A and B are shown apart, each in its own frame.
Chain A
Amino acid sequence: AQTVTQSQPEMSVQEAETVTLSCTYDTSESDYYLFWYKQPPSRQMILVIRQEAYKQQNATENRFSVNFQKAAKSFSLKISDSQLGDAAMYFCAYRSQPLGNQFYFGTGTSLTVIP
C-alpha cells in the first residue's frame, strides 16, 4: 500500500506571510494524483488543490501552489499572503491510477495563523 507522510504535525505563520507544508509519499506507480485538503474547525473536508503526476507544471489556485518533485516523491503546499481563514488542518492525499480506487491520506498538519 502507498504511504503518505506529513512530518510537520503543527505549523504556524504570521498573517500575510508565506508558509510551506511538506508531504512525501511512497509509490511504485508512475501515474497517480495528488491532492491537498483543508479541514477547518467545522470539520468539513475542502479540496484545496490537485496535481496529476504526468504533468510537470506545478498546480496553482490563487494563493495556493504546490511544489511537485516526482523523482523525490515530494508534494509540498505553499500558502502565500496567509489569512486568518487559512487556519485549519491540512491533509495531503494520494490517489492511484488508473482505477482510482485507493485513496491514501497523510496524518495532517495543523496550521495556526497568528494575527
Chain B
Amino acid sequence: EAQVTQNPRYLITVTGKKLTVTCSQNMNHEYMSWYRQDPGLGLRQIYYSMNVEVTDKGDVPEGYKVSRKEKRNFPLILESPSPNQTSLYFCASSLRPASGYTFGSGTRLTVV
C-alpha cells in the first residue's frame, strides 16, 4: 500500500531531551515536507526537501532539524525540545507540485 509512515504516533518527553520523529514513504516521491498543526493556526511548514540532500526552511524552522540522506526517509529532529514545540506534526510527500501532498498519520508531541 502506498503510504507515508511516521513514528511514533504519540510522544511525551521532557524539555531538553533530544528526539527524532521518523518519516518514510514508499512511493518514490521527490518532495517531502514537515508541518506542525496548532489550533487556530492551521498547518505551518517547518522544512521541505526537493530531493536527496536538498532541504530548505519553511515558515517555522526554529528549533528543528531535518536530513534527507535517502529518498524515502525524512526524519525530523528536535535537538532540545521546549514546551512551545508541543504540537501535532505531519510528514508528507508528493511526486510533483500539481499532485498535492500525501500525509502521514501524524505525531502528537507533548513537551513537559
Contact = CB atoms under 8 A, between A and B. Distances in A.
B100 A105 contact: no
A105 B33 CA distance: 13
Interface in A18-60: 33, 35, 43-45, 47, 50, 52
Interface in B75-93: 88, 90, 92
Interface residues of B, number: 28
B98 interface: yes
Interface residues of A, number: 27
Given A105-B44, A106-B42, A95 B100 contact: yes
Main SS at interface, chain B? strand
A14 interface: no
Interface in B5-48: 31, 33, 35, 40-45, 48
B110 interface: no
Nearest to A48: B100
B59 A50 contact: no
Contacts of A45: 43, 90, 92, 101, 103, 106
Contacts of A93: 43, 100
B67 interface: no
A91 B43 contact: yes
A35 B100 contact: yes
Interface of A: 1, 4, 6, 33, 35, 43-45, 47, 50, 52, 91, 93, 95-108
Interface of B: 31, 33, 35, 40-45, 48, 50, 56, 58-59, 88, 90, 92, 94, 96-103, 105-106
